[in-house]
Structure 1
Amino acid sequence: MSDSTGHARPRASTATEAVIRRFEGPYLRGEGEGRQALARLRHAVAGSIDDSPETWPYVFQSLAGTGPLDQWDGGASDVERAVHAALVLWAQHQQSRSRPVNVEGPSLGRQVGVLSAMLRTGDEAADAGTIRRFARLTSASTFDAQMRALTQLVSLMRANDVVLDYPRLADELRQLQNPERRKTILLMWARDLHRPPSTASAPSNPEAAALAQEQE
């Protein structure tokens, strides 16, 4: 598969996109196959593929044939963990939504910026609660802790109708686990977050901001 520019997507992105394409339509039409698949995925923990056998068929089957197998050391590979996390977060985000929440485009950092602009109140340049949640993601020392922080952000995105590119997220999560790429990904997200998004001029949302503060 390729993105809108015609470039081939990385393995994690391709696998994630394949699962979303298979189940998104049936879910939105209320069909049993889609509803069952998303229920299995969203009940898993994003940062723990080892303890989530219900997601294994979707992760491993989607990765089959996308490239050479990763060197196996007895545990899940970076790409397997990334695909698992992206699919779990997508399913949680999509729950009870009548329109697709997976939309090709901006990075996680940019969409956190959109969320922050929506939740800010008064003369604030950004929503402090959203920024704190993002800081927890960037400062977490383990993948599991990073995914717990990201789950909170995705929950707020869902509550405020902010979409996300999940195939892109999957590859960024794969790179996040690589010590040589971790800082690059975090800096990219931070730059995108603090670059004024197109919705930065949108009216503030005091009700949504109050809800977000309650969830902290």
Structure 2
Amino acid sequence: MTTAPAPPTVRSRVADLAASQIVPWQQGYLSDSSAAVAALARLRRGAGRNAAEMPDLWGLVDTGPLHENTPDLRPLSEAELARAEDALYTALTLWALHQQSRGTPMHRTHSREQPRGLGAAVRRLMPAGGIDEPVLKRLVRAGTASDSLVLAQRLREIVVLLRRSDIPLDYGLLAGQLYAWQWPGGPESVRRSWGRSFHSGRPTRNTGENSTAATSHPDLDTDTKDAS
């Protein structure tokens, strides 16, 4: 007797959808596809802005899979849809800004061996064995954003720094976190994930990326078991 796998959560659906849309755009952009270059130019204009203010992007960001109703995927409520769409839009526009003028993929999948969470990426902006307080402050400010729009604006500031240093990020993971952020208790949970991710930053070999050993900091004092 076999047991059917559990249906995907809305958070995982958002994360998977973000990654599935970014990957072909990213491949196209790195191959100098005119369609992908044009799509990224449109997406970048939405980074840090409200999706409702950018009707030009409504047909570009494909939210159709969120409306699927199959035996494996239940229909989402209006509240779930609104939050999922906002998270997807924010993640895709931030990635487009991050990828601008970069010759290597800025979206890369997170793993324990290669942490790609937001905290780990910010840690790689810092010198080995030390803490850059102004950079850390940006992560802390993002973690204490008052709403999702302010969060997107503060994440935009961080993404600009990551782009300058060619430090990638898992935008599927970020999209799921942006979805979770919008629910009661979500900001606290996401902040903990970013703190764990920050402490997971370890030296990597033969990756060509900036990386440093993790050191503790009181503003991000969290358990290090989950590096997402």
- CA RMSD between the two structures: 2.5
Output aligned runs, 1:54-203, within 5 Å: 54-57=56-59, 58-61=61-64, 63-65=66-68, 67-72=73-78, 77-105=82-110, 106=115, 107-117=117-127, 125-198=130-203, 199-200=211-212
Deviations 1:94-149, CA, capped at 9 Å, x for gaps = 0111111111013111111112337xxxxx72111111111211121111111111
Q: CA deviation at 1:25?
A: 1.4
Q: CA deviation at 1:77?
A: 1.1
Which residue in the other structure is 2:225 paired with? none
For 1:41 and 1:63, how far apart are their aligned partners in 2? 19
Name the CA shift for 1:38/1:196 in 2 (closer, same or farther; >3 Å): closer
- Larger CA deviation: 85-94 vs 178-187: 178-187
Alignment identity in percent?
Answer: 28
> Given residue 70 of structure 1, which amino acid in structure 2 is its aligned partner?
L
Tell me, yes or no, if structure 1 residue 35 matches structure 2 residue 17: no
> Given residue 97 of structure 1, which amino acid in structure 2 is its aligned partner?
R
Aligned partners of 1:12 and 1:174 also within 8 Å:
yes
> Given residue 33 of structure 1, which amino acid in structure 2 is its aligned partner?
A
Q: CA deviation at 1:161?
A: 0.8
Name the CA shift for 1:30/1:195 in 2 (closer, same or farther; >3 Å): closer
SS in structure 2 opposite 1:173? helix
SS in structure 2 opposite 1:192? helix
For 2:196 and 2:25, how far apart are their aligned partners in 1? 33
Which residue in the other structure is 2:27 paired with? 25
For 1:34 and 1:164, how far apart are their aligned partners in 2? 19
For 2:182 and 2:27, how far apart are their aligned partners in 1? 31
* TM-score, length basis structure 2: 0.75
For 2:84 and 2:119, how far apart are their aligned partners in 1? 20
Where do 5+ consecutive residues of structure 1 fail to align? 1-6, 119-123, 202-216
- Larger CA deviation: 104-113 vs 152-161: 104-113
> Given residue 28 of structure 1, which amino acid in structure 2 is its aligned partner?
L
> Given residue 212 of structure 2, which amino acid in structure 1 is its aligned partner?
A
Output aligned runs, 1:203-214, within 5 Å: none
Q: CA deviation at 1:62?
A: 5.1
> Given residue 60 of structure 1, which amino acid in structure 2 is its aligned partner?
T
Q: CA deviation at 1:174?
A: 0.6
Aligned partners of 1:45 and 1:52 also within 8 Å:
no
* TM-score, length basis structure 1: 0.79
